[in-house]
Amino acid sequence: MTEVLKGKTALVTGGTSGVGKAIARGLAQRGANVIIVGRDSEKGIRAEREMRTASGNRAVEFLQADLSLVREARRLGEEVANGWRALHYLAHSAGIVRGRHVLTAEGFESNFATNYLSRFALTTCLLPSLARAGQPGESARVVLVAHPGLDGTIHYDDVNLTTKFSTIRAFRQFHYANDLFTVEFARRQPSAGQGARITISCLHPGPTKTNIDREMPLWMKLLVRRVVHPLFSHAPEVPAAAALKLLLADEFEGESGGLFTVIGRFKRVARSRSLADPHEGQRLWACSETLIRTVSDSATRTFLAVT
């Protein structure tokens, strides 16, 4: 273990397997205090133990959270904010691709809830912690592992896709939402020349050998397992190395709102015309706040009914 990140704190969702685990391992090997998040407690405790042993870093801790639920994302954010004064790095790697229409307990389409809405909820909850860590010339950094550059549509009139669900439609919606969130988040923060304290990037991991295919529709799962993985997929360490570069490298200090990919080689992804329209980002941000508020209002009503 080196100690180049000693005293720094990082949170990695999906940190118990795949790309997230590889990102967390890289941060732990550099001496950071690493919080890994996953839904499965047994798997998480095992990953915590493995990572401590492999990195020689005892400051690795597992926190359990089901990030298909907004209330769990908010609870996690509050737990981290109360337990660690400042957060220097935040990597969102938790994700699913579910090939059937499933609503979460909070009433949201499960792909959108897990892959976008909980990320928005957790990040905004952690803004004070990120701001305390960041300073001009040494900003706190956020990385979303998604598929930037994939044009899509946010179906504001039916964000749950209740009338016309398909895996591709859900896929295009939540990935485009990550793009819009990245660009709008950057727009709301000071730029590098104005002393950026928090920066954000979105990274396409490219075809990667992980377990994200387990809930895909059968045709997609077969395509991934029999064609994509044997011919094109790389190990999780490849996109993890790119994510660590975005989190740590001096060349990206102060740069925010960037879209990147590791398909072929690590490079930038051009923004679509719609991403350049500030009204699009503002609309998604307002919609996301409204959706989160419905969860909070529902919880309040339930609490009052019980008491």
pLDDT tens-digit series, residues 42-67? 999 999 999 999 999 999 999 999 99
Give domain status of residue 256, yes or no: yes
pLDDT value at residue 41:
97
Phi-psi sector, 137: left (phi>0), alpha (psi -120 to 50), beta: left
Q: Tell me what pLDDT residue 189 has.
A: 87
* pLDDT for the residue 1: 77
Nearest to 92 by CA among 176, 182, 30: 182
pLDDT of residue 67: 98
Q: Within a domain: residue 306?
A: no
In a domain, 2, yes or no: no
Q: Which residue do the tokens 């996301």 mark?
A: 288
Establish if 94 belongs to a structural domain.
Answer: yes
Which position has the token pair 């019980």?
306
Nearest to 68 by CA among 31, 131, 13, 18: 13
**CATH code, domain carrying 91:** 3.40.50.720
* 4 in a structural domain: no
Looking at residue 144, its pLDDT comes to 98
Burial 277-287 (b: 16+ CB within 10 A, else e): eeebbeebbeb
Residue 266 lies in a domain: yes
* Residues of the chain scoring pLDDT < 70: 191-195, 297-307
The per-residue DSSP string of 163-228 comes to SS--HHHHHHHHHHHHHHHHHHHHHHS--GGG--SEEEEEEE--SB-SSGGGGS-HHHHHHIIIII
Structural domain boundaries, residue 131? 9-301
Does the residue 1 lie in any domain?
no
**CA dist., res. 38 & res. 188, Å (int):** 29
Q: Decide: pTM greater than 0.85.
A: yes
- For tokens 């994509």, the residue is 228
pLDDT at 19: 98
Question: Is 307 part of any domain?
Answer: no
Q: How many domains does the chain have?
A: 1
pLDDT for the residue numbered 179? 96
